[in-house]
Structure 1
């Protein structure tokens, strides 16, 4: 099959490359949705056991996700070791042992967010926006009700980002932009080519939903900072992911695996392949890796 073709679970009873042939890792960095979590947003018993075994073997586990801190309950009971997670595509580091308390923020400045809004309104008429702040999400009236929050402020994004906005004391973690007519990858490409060069653009949703962070902020850059502070080199990191917002992290890590269900660009850019999230692909690699130690 071609490099960008989806890989079936049946073809991945053993992962490629074989973990036993790789250097001993010190850290496993894994995405959540579409990667560690099954489609029903649960962590399988097999994966729970594999994560615990990795920690017991002295390998740290770090969850690296586009989710905000308030949506980390899906894995909070499976925390071992340090208990820190990288959230909002690198915009925040949270302590899962303290109920998801944010311990570090890399914010998107209001003026940069407003410049992006202006650009995208001109490039993609019909776009709607939401603002993810450290304390919660706020959105425009026509933004799709993906996850309704009764505490959200509903107003034009320019008002949500104003200096006197109700939640202006909470830093912006990311700006979200949704389009009802553009295809997801088309929207992402349009934004990256034509929007103001004051932010990072990525996506992880099956819909045309862009996730916009401060310039230089990504899963990879925050993970690299986190690892450098602990004297962990890229060669000592094994990473897992499935969507465009994982690509920089997968490229940075010394060893990386795309899930069988991954986006075609992720499959094309990653030499390591494993089974799908539904078939516990992360656990498959961890088990093989630990067998080789």
Structure 2
């Protein structure tokens, strides 16, 4: 049974420990969940991750981030070096800088989403994340300066049939983020997995059926790990599928209302080492 249910009448208090069997794998989101607001990993969290790996519990980072933004946690992926990036569209070996698997967004689906959102939400601009780089429209505001990025209309960016497309990103300057997501799902939901992880009106679109949950499930199956043996952590709508799949799931206290409403377990906020606190509790329970 998955870790997400309808909102509990009396949610568990922070630091509630898993009721499932001792986990074999911990899957955690990064931004807003494991990382602090300044995008660093606290000393307490670093120690908890190392202790989990030493106890034989694998830790997987499952994030919307592209591989190029994984430097902050790359050294904490222990022996396997693996991370699930781009909301499940890619699996990377961060130690070797190698793409292990990709589940791309078909160009036709991407173009259909672009067309639909241009009509449904005028003013939407787009960017394209491929396995070999990032490109964006002239009006799209990148997160950081990207001097090597290709800048052109989305239709031109997608016309290049080169490296696989991991994500299409859609941004609106002043739309309500949740309303923007709802409109996009209504207009083009059958052509991609549309979600959001940003506080702004920024949507992330991967291939139909591609999510953090589907790729995590594949990686677990390869290891003989069942959903019931996984503890997952998240904070935003792009985490909901993963939280639903995992046997035990936690929302950090700063999570989006939809995540707080859906998960049965809670922990403290990312600024208060919420993930580390639960890992410490898991390890303490094992030693008793």
User: Shared fold (TM-score greater than 0.5)?
Assistant: yes
Alpha-carbon distance between aligned partners in 2 of 1:169 and 1:192, rounded to the nearest angstrom: 27
Which aligned pairs between 1:1-293 and structure 2 lie closer than 5 A?
Answer: 14-16=14-16, 18-19=17-18, 21-99=19-97, 101-162=98-159, 165=160, 168-195=161-188, 197-293=190-286
Q: Please say if residues 61 and 81 of structure 1, whose CA atoms lie closer than 8 Å, have aligned partners that are also in contact.
A: no
Alpha-carbon distance between aligned partners in 2 of 1:181 and 1:46, rounded to the nearest angstrom: 37
Alpha-carbon distance between aligned partners in 2 of 1:285 and 1:64, rounded to the nearest angstrom: 17
Alpha-carbon distance between aligned partners in 2 of 1:104 and 1:149, rounded to the nearest angstrom: 25
State the secondary structure of the residue aligned to 2:142: coil
Q: Please say if residues 86 and 167 of structure 2, whose CA atoms lie closer than 8 Å, have aligned partners that are also in contact.
A: yes
Shift of 1:196: 5.5
Q: Please say if residues 60 and 77 of structure 2, whose CA atoms lie closer than 8 Å, have aligned partners that are also in contact.
A: no
Superposed CA offset, 1:84-120 (max 9, x none): 1000000000001113x21110000111100110111
Q: Please say if residues 90 and 220 of structure 1, whose CA atoms lie closer than 8 Å, have aligned partners that are also in contact.
A: yes
Q: Please say if residues 91 and 173 of structure 1, whose CA atoms lie closer than 8 Å, have aligned partners that are also in contact.
A: yes
Which residue number corresponds to residue 4 of structure 2? none
Shift of 1:135: 1.1
Aligned residues: 279
> Cα RMSD (Å) of the superposition?
1.6
Unmatched tracts of structure 1, length 5 or more: none
Superposed CA offset, 1:23-62 (max 9, x none): 1100000000001100111100000000011011110000
Superposed CA offset, 1:52-75 (max 9, x none): 110111100000000001110010
State the secondary structure of the residue aligned to 1:97: coil
Shift of 1:144: 1.2
Superposed CA offset, 1:207-256 (max 9, x none): 00000000000000100111111111000000000000000000100000
Structure 1 runs of 4+ off > 3 angstroms? none
Shift of 1:136: 1.2
Higher deviation after alignment, 80-89 or 200-209: 80-89
Unmatched tracts of structure 2, length 5 or more: 1-6
